[in-house]
Amino acid sequence: MQVLKFGGTSVANAQNISLVKDIVANCAADNCIIIVSALGGITDTLLNAANLSSKQDEGYKTVLKEIETRHLDTVKSLIPVHAQSTILSKIKSELNTLEDLLEGAFLIGEITPQLSDKIVSYGEMLSSYIISEYFQHQQLDAGHVDSRTLIITNEVNEKAAVNFKITNANCKKFFSKTPHKIIVAGGFVASSESGNPTTLGRGGSDYTAAIIAAAVDAEILQIWTDVSGMYTANPKLVKQAKAIPHISYEEAMELSHFGAKVLYPPTIQPVLAKGISIEIKNTFKPEDKGTLITKNQNEKGKTVRGISHVENIALLSLEGPGMVGIPGISKRFFEVLSQAEISVVLITQASSEHSICVGISTDDIDKAVQIVNSAFEYEIERGKIKHVIAEQNLAIIALVGDNMKSHQGLSGKMFSTLGKNNVNIRVIAQGASERNISAVIKKDDVKKALNALHEEFFEENIKQLNLFVMGVGNVGAKFLNQVCQQKKYLKENLKLNIRVIGLSNSRTMVFDDGGIPLKNWEDTLASGEKANKEHFFEKVNQLNYRNSIFVDNTASADVSTTYNSYLGNSISVVTCNKIACSSEYSNYQELKSLARTYNAPFLFETNVGAGLPIIDTLKHLIASGDKILKIQAVLSGSLNFVFNNFNDQTSFHDVVKQAQEEGYTEPDPKIDLSGVDVMRKILILARESGNQLEISDIENKSFLPQESLDTDNNDDFFASLAKYEDDFQKLYTDAVAKESKLKYVAQFEEGKASVGLQEIPKGHDFYNLEGSDNIVLFYTERYPNQPMIIKGAGAGADVTASGIFADIIRIGNF
């Protein structure tokens, strides 16, 4: 004997029911019992009709019509025309009775739990009847039984307790006598000893199947549903979740108790007692292996088997000085809750006994607050206990696994993963069996927390980085191309899965939860909504993805003012925009401190020397205890390009123009030529070396005539360069006369920084600097005479983009 249970989606319509028939027809057992749910969604629809009629809302009639149409259509599609009329009239007659019940509720304007159970039981009654008739017309040897004659419960409605003695006897008797190979019965519905209709709780068809399987000593219980087993996390929320091949009863029970809806929690108990295995299978992919649930699971090496969560949790805390050392307070607290039939999902008590905190369903919170306050009225009046505190909009997230107890560090890993992603943990609980570690978190953080934990515990360390990119100019476009090219390599070799979720330029912005396809991001972006940097941030924050990184590829001061919002919400920032780090020291300091407080890296390697690892090296020197004595550097790829190409055969104006056109200067070339850009860079290096400096502290003797410095647009600036060509030529010939080359040098020593054009003699480290190269000499306590030198291309969109990329990978490895 086998028991097969088919859930709501599996029997939602004629097409699905025909798949069910194929599965049943292929069942190898001599006899099978088929337990079915109501047609998918019908239980909710029935409850909705009941609710409307109890509120005297005529709308219940429309809902009833919908219920009728669903069932009649299903019959018409499944049953041959000549045989339809008997079945249709039986269904119509049942629906007439249902209509009477709803009308009754409408007239009184009220619904009792008993009437509600009576109404809702039509779902399973009708579905099981239709399916058994269909099986018969498909030449299967099938019969039907009304489960209410088999499953007997107490008188409690909506989640009745089963009387196993009577139920088992009923089942044994019925199934030993039935002449049919297949019996179809509805799940969920039952009746009380006095004959009133009851139900086993939402999702209870699984339980019906388990009760019957245990009663008849079935070989196996199969739960056929719409997913291929019990997954490592709810597959609707975690795309990477996988079916768990083999799991123990206890693990399955914990997972379902903590929200894995695929199995109704009480289901395990009856089959566990008999040692009957459960298989969870997918009706739509019967070839998938699914999940096997048995006494022991044989995947010994695995510790965490699944992560589940329960939404709609509220915390109820009882606190007060009068609780310490007084026995009986918790007993009374739990008694009051239990008398009100409020089930407690999680309990913690501080070791000081100063407070007890329980997690309960949000639905029960108002009632709970009221009854607990009145139960402790005497103590509250005397100030021994405070009014009970309720907190809502929470969820429980739980790691489950039999072998967790023999491993240290799992809770540490769980909490640090949540912490890194700015998921605040309100309460922690660990079952004495150590089969489960649970944490109460904000409901809004559930998806992020599940995915972050899933990544940590199940995805062979594949880490997903979610990028939100602003700016797609020279650097931005190159960056996106590099991400597109490297995606596969990074996934395979560095276990980093990089996705661009949001993209914006100054005109439009787009978001795609699944990642923007990078092959044609231009078109996608062009069709986006109007850009707005505040809305962009709000969207990033609201998406609340783990490992979110904001990437600023602009040179905009406005954009740089948004970094604190990102960092303050644990969203990392990577930027090639120098404005933030060279703004007032207090702002720089605040950003650094936000990054530390919220565990969100703030990286700006490309602020100095494009892709060259200058800041990173500096950080390592300092972190390892070295001290910076002096920094000497040529930090402007643009000025280097200009002075390397400028000579008596070219004009200064033309060389600057060329540098601008080839992307070697800032969009406003005056920023480079005036030395402001170099000032910003040496300022950042000085700050990163631990010095508190402002841009105004930096000495800058500009080589540009005052008139050029005073221009306020690019055209005037270039015109002034042409006008002063003779002055520039003189700089050149003076240097050549001394066998020197012109280099724009930045220097920092003893707390003072300066920038300016210098004539560099032959033999100097700077003399042979080619093209747009940069060079930095770090004189430190460990490198006092021979400085540490970093040299290479220091400007250009490609190297800058790769520097941004490197920062992102640093975060990936963080």
Catalytic residues: 681
Q: How far is the CB of 8 from ligand ADP (least distance, A)?
A: 4
User: How many positions of this chain bind ligand ADP (CB under 6 A)?
Assistant: 21
Q: List the single partner that 202 binds among Mg ion, ligand ASP, ligand ADP, none, CB under 5 to 8 Å by kind.
A: ligand ASP
Q: How far is the CB of 308 from ligand ADP (least distance, A)?
A: 6
Among 40, 203, 229, 306, interactor with Mg ion by CB under 5 A: 203
Q: Is 260 in the site for ligand ADP (CB under 6 A)?
A: yes
Q: List the single partner that 290 binds among ligand ADP, ligand ASP, Mg ion, none, CB under 5 to 8 Å by kind.
A: none
Q: Is 42 in the site for ligand ADP (CB under 6 A)?
A: no
Q: How far is the CB of 203 from ligand ADP (least distance, A)?
A: 5
Q: How far is the CB of 202 from Mg ion (least distance, A)?
A: 8
Q: Quickly tell me which residue has 């066998």 as its tokens.
A: 739
Q: Is 197 in the site for ligand ASP (CB under 6 A)?
A: no
Please report the DSSP string for 102-160 in residue order: HHHHHHHT---HHHHHHHHTHHHHHHHHHHHHHHHHTT--EEEE-GGGT-EE-S-SSSP
Q: Is 123 in the site for ligand ASP (CB under 6 A)?
A: yes
Q: How far apart are CA 274 and CA 276, in angstroms?
A: 5
Burial class (CB in 10 A: 0-12, 13-18, 19+), 97: exposed
Q: How far apart are CA 480 and CA 482, in angstroms?
A: 5
Closest CA to 747 of 699, 677, 795: 699
Burial class (CB in 10 A: 0-12, 13-18, 19+), 171: buried
Q: List the single partner that 618 binds among ligand ADP, ligand ASP, Mg ion, none, CB under 5 to 8 Å by kind.
A: none
Q: How far apart are CA 99 and CA 102, in angstroms?
A: 5
Burial code of 71-94, b = ≥16 C-beta within 10 A, e = fewer? bbebbeebbeeeebeebeeebeee
What are the backbone angles phi and psi of residue 355, rounded to the nearest 5°?
-155, 150
Q: Which is nearer to ligand ASP, 70 or 546 (CB)?
A: 70
Q: Is 395 in the site for ligand ADP (CB under 6 A)?
A: no
Q: Which is nearer to ligand ASP, 41 or 771 (CB)?
A: 41
Name the one range near ligand ASP by CB under 6 A: 161-169, 176-184, 197-205, 720-728.
197-205
Among 159, 202, 289, 442, interactor with ligand ASP by CB under 6 A: 202
CA angle 489, 616, 462 (to 5 degrees): 30
Among 60, 106, 129, 188, interactor with ligand ASP by CB under 6 A: 188
Among 2, 9, 16, 37, interactor with ligand ASP by CB under 6 A: 37
- The contact pattern for ligand ASP, residues 42-81, with x = CB under 6 A and - = no contact, is -x--------------------------------------
Name the one range near ligand ADP by CB under 6 A: 137-145, 210-218, 227-235, 318-326.
227-235
Q: How far is the CB of 126 from ligand ADP (least distance, A)?
A: 16
Strand order through the sheet with 2-6: 142-145, 182-186, 32-36, 2-6, 220-225, 277-282, 291-294, 246-248
Q: Which is nearer to ligand ADP, 291 or 758 (CB)?
A: 291
**Quick check: helix, strand or coil at residue 769?**
coil
Q: Which is nearer to ligand ADP, 16 or 547 (CB)?
A: 16
Residues 6+ apart with CB under 8 A from 616: 605, 810
Q: Is 225 in the site for ligand ADP (CB under 6 A)?
A: yes
HEC profile of 334-394 = HHHHHHCCCCEEEEEECCCCCEEEEEEEHHHHHHHHHHHHHHCHHHHHCCCCCCCEEEEEE
Q: Is 248 in the site for ligand ADP (CB under 6 A)?
A: no
Closest CA to 188 of 107, 274, 128: 128
Q: Which is nearer to ligand ADP, 251 or 605 (CB)?
A: 251
- The contact pattern for ligand ADP, residues 159-198, with x = CB under 6 A and - = no contact, is ----------------------------------------
Q: Is 38 in the site for ligand ASP (CB under 6 A)?
A: yes
Around Cβ 324, how many Cβ atoms within 10 Å?
Answer: 12
Q: Which is nearer to Mg ion, 36 or 67 (CB)?
A: 36
**Quick check: helix, strand or coil at residue 237?**
coil
Q: For strand 628-634 and strand 773-780, is the pairing parallel, antiparallel, or unpaired? A: antiparallel
Q: Is 803 in the site for ligand ASP (CB under 6 A)?
A: no
Name the one range near ligand ASP by CB under 6 A: 20-28, 198-206, 326-334, 699-707.
198-206
Name the one range near ligand ASP by CB under 6 A: 201-209, 341-349, 564-572, 614-622.
201-209
Q: Which is nearer to ligand ADP, 311 or 749 (CB)?
A: 311
Residue type, 406: S
**Quick check: helix, strand or coil at residue 652?**
helix
The region, left, alpha or beta by phi > 0 then psi within -120 to 50, assigned to residue 663 is left
Q: How far is the CB of 217 from ligand ADP (least distance, A)?
A: 24
Q: Is 204 in the site for ligand ASP (CB under 6 A)?
A: yes
User: How many positions of this chain bind Mg ion (CB under 5 A)?
Assistant: 2
**Quick check: helix, strand or coil at residue 297?**
coil
Q: Is 7 in the site for ligand ASP (CB under 6 A)?
A: yes
Q: Which is nearer to ligand ASP, 188 or 718 (CB)?
A: 188
CA 66 to chain centre: 36
Tokens representing 131 are 């399916």
Q: How far is the CB of 369 from ligand ASP (least distance, A)?
A: 28
Q: How far is the CB of 541 from ligand ADP (least distance, A)?
A: 27
Tokens representing 411 are 């809770």
DSSP 100: H
Q: List the single partner that 188 binds among Mg ion, ligand ASP, ligand ADP, none, CB under 5 to 8 Å by kind.
A: ligand ASP
Among 53, 132, 205, 422, interactor with ligand ASP by CB under 6 A: 205
Residues 6+ apart with CB under 8 A from 724: 652, 705, 707, 708
Q: Which is nearer to ligand ADP, 147 or 665 (CB)?
A: 147
Tokens representing 723 are 């006008």
Q: How far apart are CA 262 and CA 268, in angstroms?
A: 12
Q: How far is the CB of 36 from Mg ion (least distance, A)?
A: 12
Residues that bind ligand ASP (CB under 6 A): 7-8, 37-38, 43, 123, 187-188, 202-206
Residues that bind ligand ADP (CB under 6 A): 7-10, 37, 203, 225-227, 230-231, 233-236, 255, 260-262, 306, 308
Residues that bind Mg ion (CB under 5 A): 7, 203
